[in-house]
Structure 1
Amino acid sequence: MTFPGISRALDRSEHFRDVVAAAAVDADISVVDGLDAPLLSALVRRRRDSGKPPVLLAIAPTGRRVESLMPALRALLPEAAVLQFPAWETLPHERLSPSPETVGRRLETIARIASSPDSAPIVVVASVRAALQPLAAGLADVEPVRLRAGERGHDLALIVERLVELAYHRVDMVSRRGEFAVRGGILDVFPTVADHPYRVEFFGDEVDQIRTFSVADQRSLPGAVEAVDLLPGRELLLTADVRARARQLAGEFAGLQGMLEKMAEGIPAEGMESLTPALVPQMATLVDYLPAGSAVALVDPERSRTRARTLAETNREFLEAAWSAATAGANTPIDLGAGDFLTIAALREAVHERAGVWWTLSPFDSGAADAAAEGLLADDREDMLGDAPVRIPARSVPSFHGNVEGATAYVGDLVTAGWSVVVTASGAGLVERARDVLAEREIAAALVEDADAAPEPGRATLAVAQLERGFELEDARLAVLTESEFYGRTIGGDSRVVKKLAS
């Protein structure tokens, strides 16, 4: 369920409105944990309403934070496409290839960005590791194989050839993502981002029907599928130019000859992605795949900077360990520096080169906002930050350590004082239980489904929504409690998500 009404309730706060207005340019925002997602939602709406690209890249320190931020953004900004850009399981200089599923999800996000209308709100959520890793340029230009039931003019032999070009592996029986098999006029293929493989039946040059099937017994599953898009299985495709470059490098680096000769023959090799900087003419950043003028928000910048430094050091160690021996004896070392993780400063520079804005959302208050308001911020520090320091004076909800009595008393006091109180949980049962607990104590409460309007004052509004943390903002007279505060439990995985098969 969705709850965009929380952002509308926050508009009652002058401090909140001031911060949203200040974020028209680069801004250093001090904001309590839990208010990140509501603020980001409001900022995307503001950009859309003001005619600016409503596209946001939200960068979190870790993949776990990404997983908790995404459902909150979906609940608060239901009109937007909230997409994840996952990191490779491997480091850029590690001689291992990322899984087809990870590659597929990354390319799917890039394709969604490229194909979306200019006015469509998009939020891409990525970890520091994913956001700082350079990519090959031109990934959005690779056309997938598109098959639609009833469509004519297909040549199965050409489709097979194209699947090989897109790094799909031909097998006798499909069991993993990125594999395909052909039996007569039947194509079995496991897309990189699908839950199940697809069986495409051809009648001459026509796609007769498309169905999913089970890996376990290879039997078709009920229900026909209208169409399927087959995205590449690797980010480094063995095009004619890449193969020619691999053939050239094979003669220069004897230690890499085995891998490079396979690639020169069009055969994918494990770990070949680590050679991407030496094989493609240009590398790009994730920001380069966003529309010009997009916004980038660095959530929890203190942890993000620490994470970025650790990643850079570890990746450099892998580069030295993995490639020094492989290139020994060559006249010059192989140059893979373009594949190093970017610094946060370099990513920010890339944002500005594309006329974008850069925000940091920190739970810590540096005092810069107060100093700037009093004219005390030193010129050298202002030049160093280059941002407008602003703050939302919200507070965290007190911790009740699982004491429901304490939580209900807290809610009751705020309701009596005329506040709007919101209680959310990830499951309907927990929300209904909260309603019953509040009703037993004669606290006005109402359960809503899709809450588009701002919650009413003097009442507790309950909804199913997976928010990160609660907060209270006095000048909005708004308090939000999640199940973590109300029940003293941490939000776990969403049980409604269908688990995917092994990659």
Structure 2
Amino acid sequence: MLNQFKSSIDRALSLNPDWKKLRNEWSAGVFPIQVSGIRGVWTALILSKLADLTGGPLLVVTGDEQEAKALSRDLSLFTDRVSTFPWWGTMLYRGVSPQAAIFGKRASVLAELAAGERRIVITSIRAALGLLPPPAEIRKSLTTLKIGGSINPTEIEERLQRFGYNRVPRVSVPGEFALRGEVLDVAPLGVSEAVRIVFAWDDVEEIRLFDPLTQISSESIEQITLHPLREVVWDTQRVEVLSEQLPGEGFEDVLDALKTGRELKGEELFYPLAFRETATLQDYLADRSATVFLDSERLEIAETNMLKEYRELFAAALEQGMEIPSPDTLITSLDSFISARKRRMVSRTLRNEEDENIYSLPCEPGRSFFGNINFLKEELVTLAENGFQIFVFAESESQSQRIGYLLRDLENVQVGPAALSAGFMLSDAKILVIQENEIFGRRKRASSSVARAKSTVIESFVDLDPGDLIVHINYGIGRFQGIKRIKAGGAERDYITLQYGDEETVFIPIEQVNLIQRYIGQEGRKPRLDRIGGTSWEKKKNRVKKSVADLADRLVKLYARRQTSVGYAFPEDDDFQISFEAAFPYEETVDQLSVIEEVKKDMESPKPMDRLVCGDVGYGKTEIAMRAAFKAVIGGRQVAYLCPTTILAEQHHESFTERFKRFPVTVGMLSRFVSPAEKKKVLQGLQKGEVDVVIGTHRILSKDVRFKN
């Protein structure tokens, strides 16, 4: 579907005479260019086309960080050569350091540009106007490793430590590196994957990306460019230049912290003063590169507000006696930034009648349907009858399937997964694009930790650190000491070293790693190490075998009785259920979707359901319960939702009420927070079938709580 969408948009562009003129002038190098009417995904598509015509990187300046992130996501639909250069994300002069990932992301983008990579770089005006190190300084710090190239392990270790990386036994978080024999692992800041470089002697044999948490490789790459974790490395020369350029005295504490390598909050304020000549982001662009300024009127307002904010914060910081440079040393002006590059395009929101040299590429904003599915269907039918092509995009495959089911009877409507920031309409080309938020209301994004959560088994010894307790299937509980390369019988091989009781050591060939697992026992209690040749481990295994056999016997009898029992089979999902699930304001995790399907399958079976759902706080257990409750209500049954505490019952009642408000479902609550009159009303409603879902503490188990169905 996405390919058909792109083809339709290409057709719409080809019908616009202004686009043909703009493209020709861009290719011929006739700049500057002015354009009006572009917005949202339409902007992303046009920029992706212009980037293909550009001989170098394309820099795009937006009004704020949120707009930059949204544009970056939209551009990712059309090209994989997109980077975002972030602003620091903190209030200036407040003594608060930006997140480490921001330092890493900025350094990574500068390294890409300094290395001459052709990319589309999206940035906000705050980040764009900031002064930076000269590109030559960044280029000098780059270290590129290629397959088949040479590597000096000692030299690379020293360089990584100078870059700010910490050496550890095994990388787990960004900013670390591990050098084990002929394997180098590096976890840069600002990216989700680490890099594993395998070499033999001094030759690089393999470079792979891998997940630091699972240690599982994802793909092989030909080369990797390593760079400092931050755009400025405080060596002796940089500190000396800073000392020369600081305004007056009173900065002794700052200089002392930088010389000794201590943490200095707000060190980014001193970056521009560490160089005798500074640069801007445009200085990193090649000659045939271009810069696009989106919504020039908004950029001017943003600059005015930014300067006012910086000056007020600077004055307040001086009153507090802080040692800080002035805003003038940190940023350049928007006028000078724009005029510094002739190869530029400026977009404007509105086009005046007298403006003859502005190319018009208009699109209308997306439409909102406020969760009214019937209204949505009526509008789409009318538009389809008028010859419109309609594309509906959802943020996930599961959401796409739900919306597709709801709109299954409509013609000229295509539904597919793609994370667009917003919909739009091209009236002349008769194309309507709808983003799912415009159907159900504004959606929320789950935290990145939830989105990345994976249920994977521990990957053997890779996840073990020296000193961790392990269990060997033959020898019992021991302590992992590490991996040693031992020469025996004329051959070298790797052995896993395990320590047991009485200071005995066992060397296990690396090929037998499947016999070893991490020890998982009662928290806070350290087990006694087993002895080689002792009987304690065999006795433990025999006791466990007997307990398992007894438990299995009881479970077999229990489940045999359950298999003969008959429960209520709920009907399959209908439009109500699909609409309810589609209105969920977050994207489900893979595990969440799996559990939801299993629960609904249990409910549709005539066998009684026996299922326990486990998960950490914030990982979506309540939504699973809500969907099961909704399915039960639509199937003609009432639902009791038992909570361990009164506070939790109150919270769940609010969540259920908010989630069910668009549907014919009545939610009641029973707890000590409920007044006697309301309690009586809920009890009567349950007995008459007027209350569909009751939420409460153990109060709902009382004898006076009677359900109709």
Q: CA–CA distance in 1 between the matches of 2:218 and 2:379? A: 50
Give the residue type in structure 2 aligned to 1:396.
P
Pick one of 37, 48, 67 that aligns with 2:41. Answer: 37
Corresponding residue SS for 1:414: helix
* Mapped pair 1:282 → 2:277: yes
Q: Give runs of aligned pairs for residues 348-359 of structure 1, distance below 5 A.
A: 348-351=338-341, 355-359=342-346
- In 2, Cα distance between equivalents of 1:85 and 1:284: 15
Match status 1:259 vs 2:242: no
Q: Distance in 2 between matches of 1:84 and 1:310?
A: 22
What do the CA deviations read for 1:378-408 (whole angstroms, capped 9, x no partner)?
xxxxxxxxxx344445333432211122222
Residues 1:484 and 2:437 are matched in the alignment = yes
1:240: how far off? Answer: 4.4
**Matched positions, count:** 445
2:225 is the counterpart of 1:241: no
Alignment of 1:204-223 (within 5 A): 205=202, 221=216
Alignment equivalent of 2:140, drawn from 132, 139, 142: 142
1:167 Cα deviation from its structure 2 partner: 2.8
1:428 pairs, out of 388, 394, 397, with: 397
- What CA distance in whole angstroms lies between the structure 2 residues aligned with 1:497 and 1:307? 33
Give the SS at the match of 1:475. coil
State the AA in 2 paired with 1:113: L
Report the counterpart of residue 74 of structure 1 in structure 2.
76
Provide the rounded CA distance (Å) in 2 between the counterparts of 1:205 and 1:43.
43
Q: Tell me the residue number matched to 1:414.
A: 383
* Cα distance in 2 for residues equivalent to 1:134 and 1:272: 14
SS at match of 2:87: coil
Return 5+ residue gaps in structure 2 as ranges. 455-709
Match of 1:343 in 2: 333
The aligned amino acid for 1:243 is V
CA deviations over 1:157-179 (Å, ceiling 9, x no partner): x2232123323345788665334
CA gap of 1:412–1:19, structure 2 versus 1, over 3 A, is farther
Q: Percent identity?
A: 24
Is the CA contact (8 Å cut-off) linking 1:20 and 1:42 kept in structure 2?
A: no
Cα distance, 1:140 vs. partner? 3.8
SS of the aligned residue for 1:38 comes to helix
Q: Is the 8 A contact 1:311 1:341 kept in 2?
A: no
* Alignment check: 8 A CA contact 1:93 1:339 kept: no
Q: Is 1:105 aligned to residue 105 of structure 2?
A: yes
Structure-1 residue corresponding to 2:85: 85
Corresponding residue SS for 2:192:
coil
1:10 is paired with a residue whose SS is helix
* Distance change (3 Å), C-alpha of 1:239 and 1:206: same
Paired amino acid for 1:195: S
Quote the residue 2:679 is aligned against: none
| Contact 1:235–1:273 (Cα < 8 Å) also in 2 | no
Distance 1:73 1:223 in 2: 23
Residue 232 of structure 1 corresponds to: 228
Aligned to 2:294, which of 293, 299, 315? 299
Indicate yes or no: 2:122 matched with 1:125: yes
Q: Deviations over 1:125-160 (max 9, x none)?
A: 11222112111112541333445678655142x223
Residues in 2 aligned to 1:63 and 1:274: alpha-carbon distance in whole angstroms: 19
Residue 89 (structure 1) shift: 3.0
RCO greater where, 1 or 2, for CA within 8 Å and sep 6 or more? 1
Give the Cα–Cα distance (whole angstroms) in 1 for the partners of residues 218 and 120 of structure 2: 32
**Equivalence for 2:152:** 154
Residue type of the alignment partner of 2:280 = T
- Structure 2 residue corresponding to 1:475, chosen from 417, 428, 431: 428
TM-score, length-normalised on structure 1?
Answer: 0.73
Structure-1 separation of matches of 2:325 and 2:48: 40
Alpha-carbon distance between aligned partners in 2 of 1:92 and 1:207, rounded to the nearest angstrom: 44
8 Å CA contact 1:82, 1:125 repeated in 2: yes
Q: Matches of 2:363 and 2:293 in 1, distance apart?
A: 19
User: Who is 1:60 aligned against?
Assistant: 62
User: Alpha carbons of 1:360 and 1:434: their partners in 2 closer, same or farther (altered >3 Å)?
Assistant: same
Describe the shift of the 1:99–1:202 C-alpha distance in structure 2 as closer, same or farther (beyond 3 A): farther
Aligned to 1:371: 354
State the partner residue of 2:502: none
